[in-house]
Chain A
Amino acid sequence: MKPNRRKVLFIPLALMLVLLIIGTAAEASHGPGIETETASPIEEHASILRASASTEAPLPPEQDPCMHCHLQGEIADMFVPLARWMIFGFTGVVFAFGLYRSGNVWITRKKWKPLWLQVTDWMDKRYQIVDPIRKILSKPVEMFSTRWWYCLGGITFTLFIIQGITGTLLAFYYKPTPEEAYASIQFIETQVRFGASIRAIHHWSANAMVVMVVAHLLRVFITGAFKPPRELNWISGVILFIVTLGFGFTGYLLPWDQRAFWATTVGTEIAGGIPWIGDLSLVFMRGGWGVGAVTLSRFYAVHILILPIIIIAFLAVHFLMVRRQGIARPL
């Protein structure tokens, strides 16, 4: 860019500054603001919510002020300006892009290069990534590995991604304490928009993930893909299988209903039967002799922090080894 062209940039900047000053001055001359007597609908709802926070159970749907409804536009004064600015903004971006493109072709007198090509060129000039990516993408896939039973591992991974997304959404509303866990799940099921859907997807995709992990393990076992030189990949797969079961075990307690509570009681009791270290492992898992508040926060931490870190690390190792060694050729 030539220096005299760069100076042109200062014109809109100066214009904006002038507009800002005029706007601020106009606001200041208006006095310290005209306070309306009635509180805004948002504040009104917030006060109802604060009042209802002391009661334990969530309000029935028809009484609930439903803070998230703002996002859905039930209070029109939030949604309409947003939609208006999105439409205006999008039109403006398209218009500005057209101006830039025409101006660029006129000034440089060169054929216009698609925007994504410009971006890849810009990146490639700095980081030289196009060749490695092309190499990765151009790796030939052997026909035998396009049979359907070779995609079971990939399906498991896709389900894991779905679990990560829906689990994060659930964590926005879930409260990991014995007093509030049950009520927060009730809130997700009845009050949060599409909360029941998100919870159902998380629930059923967790079950599907266990099924798919076992199916993938059986496929690898039967086709003999575990044989040397792929022993370590097999071991990382077994660890991923155990971690998946760990996700199921810790996640099952979180709703804190009768089924969850007694399933965990039974499950940790089984761990208590391990010779020599039984009591130790039982207390370690429960955080005490009984299943209680500590158990819940412990399981929650394992479910949303420790196991995800482990599974992501082992998935990376698993995939890198598959990439390096290729898919095992069956008989």
Chain B
Amino acid sequence: MTENTEEKETIPFYPDHVTTEFRVTIAIIVGAIIIGALALFWPVGLEAPADPMDTPAHTQPEWYFLFLFQILKYVPKTTGVLIPFVAIAVLILWPFFDRKADTHQARRNRIILASVAMLIIIILTVLGAYT
């Protein structure tokens, strides 16, 4: 029984895997068409035309930059601006320091790290959106 499953460790790329990928692609396209159909009733819309003289009460960047915007409220500007650069540098350099073969312990630590980082980012985003 065990040997039988060992034999089945791979599937052919074509046609088996291509079929799966094709189905996922079709699902995405169908989703896009549904969004497009809904947009006929609820379009994305526009706000008032841009007016440099009229500063609105709440100026916000896109939602995926909100957490950076929120950090700036807690730390001095120079530090806050450097945070994304440091984060990108850490991301780029990470594989050059984390070189050992993977272990379950290391993977658990990475899961915790990623979860905490995402949690902080989500909390900051929500705070930025509702303050």
Contacts and interface: CB of A to CB of B under 8 A. Distances in A.
Interface of A: 136-143, 146, 151, 154-155, 158-159, 162, 178, 182, 185-186, 189, 194, 196-201, 203-205, 207, 210, 218, 221-224, 226-228, 230-231, 234-235, 238, 242, 245, 248-249, 252, 255-263, 265-267, 270-271, 273-275, 278, 290-292, 330-331
A258 B48 contact: yes
The 9 closest A-B pairs by CB, nearest first: A200-B39, A197-B36, A261-B50, A140-B10, A137-B14, A262-B59, A257-B47, A231-B95, A224-B102
Interface residues on B, range: 35 or more
A265 B99 contact: no
Given A203-B44, A261-B52, A198 B36 contact: yes
Contact of A255 (B28, B35, B46, B60): B46
B81 interface: yes
B5 to A, nearest CB: 9
A224 B106 contact: yes
B49 A257 contact: yes
19 contacts: A137-B13, A140-B12, A143-B8, A155-B24, A162-B28, A178-B50, A189-B43, A205-B32, A221-B110, A228-B95, A258-B48, A259-B47, A260-B50, A261-B52, A263-B60, A266-B59, A266-B60, A271-B81, A273-B81
A331 B107 contact: yes
A141 B47 contact: no
A282 B93 CA distance: 27
Please classify the interface of chain B as helix (H, G, I), strand (E, B), loop, or mixed, using the class held by over half of its residues: helix
B95 A234 contact: yes
A331 B111 CA distance: 14
Interface string B47-80: 1111110111001111111001100100001101
B78 A273 contact: yes
B39 A197 contact: yes
Given A204-B35, A290-B52, 10 more contacts: A140-B13, A146-B11, A151-B24, A155-B28, A178-B50, A228-B99, A258-B47, A258-B56, A263-B60, A266-B61
A227 B40 contact: no
Contact of A146 (B17, B45, B51, B99): B17
Given A238-B91, A263-B59, A201 B102 contact: no
Interface string B117-130: 01000000000000
Nearest to A270: B81
A224 B110 contact: yes
A117 B49 CA distance: 57
B30 to A, nearest CB: 12
A201 B65 contact: no
B54 A258 contact: yes
Contact of A270 (B21, B44, B72): B72
A226 B94 contact: yes
A131 to B, nearest CB: 14
Contact of A194 (B12, B25, B36): B36
Nearest to B99: A228
A186 B114 contact: no
Contacts of B56: 258, 262
B40 A196 contact: yes
A200 B46 CA distance: 12
Contacts of A260: 47, 50
B102 A331 contact: yes
